[in-house]
A and B are shown apart, each in its own frame.
Chain A
Amino acid sequence: MTFKPEHELHTRRKGRNIGVGLMLAGFVVLVLALTFTKVTNGDFELPKAEELTQ
């Protein structure tokens, strides 16, 4: 198994890449929290059977 030496570009852009990574992770967490809130608040509740027959 061989490991290639790290490209200079990765060192140069380390800060930027970490920043983008953290933002993407934050976005995923936010969407998860939003979905959880919407589902538990009943935003996506199915209509009751009697409402459907009316």
Chain B
Amino acid sequence: MADASYTTPAGEYDTQLGDYFALLKPRVMSLVVFTALVGLLAAPVFVHPVIAFSSILFVAIGAGASGALNMWWDADIDAVMRRTAKRPIPSGRVPAGEALSLGLALSGLSVMMLGLSANLLAAGLLAFTIFFYAVIYSMWLKRSTPQNIVIGGAAGAFPPVIGWAIATGSFSVEAWLMFALIFMWTPPHFWALALFMKSDYDDADVPMLTVTHGRRATRAHVLGYTLLLVLLAVGTGFTAIGGPLYLAAAVLLNALFLKGAFDIWRRDEAQAEADAYRVEKKFFRLSLWYLFAHFGMILIEAMLRPFGMGGW
């Protein structure tokens, strides 16, 4: 990559370190770090801080690598969508080939290093997650089915399972409950976004539910998935990773979330247009806090356990 830009005439844009960092989708990476860390700390096994830190770092690098591969593959549709047009590749800050090289190199590095720092199960799961996000979701599902984010949501749901595998070297029901929480949360989160991003997915020919089945059906789907999510999220409160604090927070958050989904369902486009999608935007913002708070409460319950508190 140095050879091509060596001859770049002075004055022309030179890719900065920050541009490469933006390729790694830092905001998604922060969510991955947080959920993987919760998975690791909620597991009933002590992990040496150095091993925990380095393992989570390699999970974050793996997540970033899949982000870079996603941006490399999706550069054409990112360019036509308002939300993504300023990303490093469509804006011309990073050449597509460099994004591919960076994504592949970091994928290999992160999987190999996680295998060395934690165990082969965690490394294998990270490799599968990168493959799932870059190939199954980005290259296949995203452009072929309105169920793209439902199935693709699995990629974002794996980090707590990886965290659990780092600590225990195995899987368990609790790890899969955390997986299910993110998996069920993803569709209403993204469909709310699709409702107020209006023509973005239309312009890019991405078969989002709003494009293929219309906005009425999308509103109904948001409510349907939220109902299932509420059952799961509150039910988790009675399991080994839950506890009274988690349950109290889950009841409150899920009541708010359900109300938001119900408000989205009962509105039509004319009402949404009239107030510039206020309800949909509010639901989207709440969904971010919703996930953060659920995992935060799982973490608090786990932290309190050594002191005889937390859990049931």
Contact = CB atoms under 8 A, between A and B. Distances in A.
B116 interface: yes
B139 interface: no
Contacts of B17: 15-16, 19-20
Contact of A34 (B10, B14, B116): B116
B17 to A, nearest CB: 4
Contacts of A36: 50
A37 to B, nearest CB: 4
Contacts of B57: 30
B54 interface: yes
Interface residues on A, range: 10 to 19
B79 interface: no
A13 interface: yes
A9 B12 CA distance: 12
B48 A13 contact: no
A16 B48 CA distance: 33
B54 A34 contact: yes
Q: Interface residues of A: mostly helix, strand, loop or mixed?
A: helix
Interface in A17-53: 19-20, 30, 33-34, 36-38, 41
A38 B50 CA distance: 9
A12 interface: yes
B144 to A, nearest CB: 37
Nearest to B109: A27
Given A12-B14, A15-B17, A41-B48, A34 B117 contact: yes
Given A9-B6, A34-B116, A16 B16 contact: yes
9 contacts: A16-B15, A16-B17, A19-B17, A20-B17, A34-B50, A34-B51, A34-B116, A36-B50, A41-B48
Interface of B: 6, 10, 14-17, 48, 50-51, 54, 57, 116-117
Given A12-B10, A15-B17, A34-B117, 19 more contacts: A8-B10, A9-B6, A15-B16, A16-B14, A16-B15, A16-B16, A16-B17, A30-B57, A33-B50, A33-B54, A34-B50, A34-B51, A34-B54, A34-B116, A36-B50, A37-B50, A37-B51, A38-B51, A41-B48
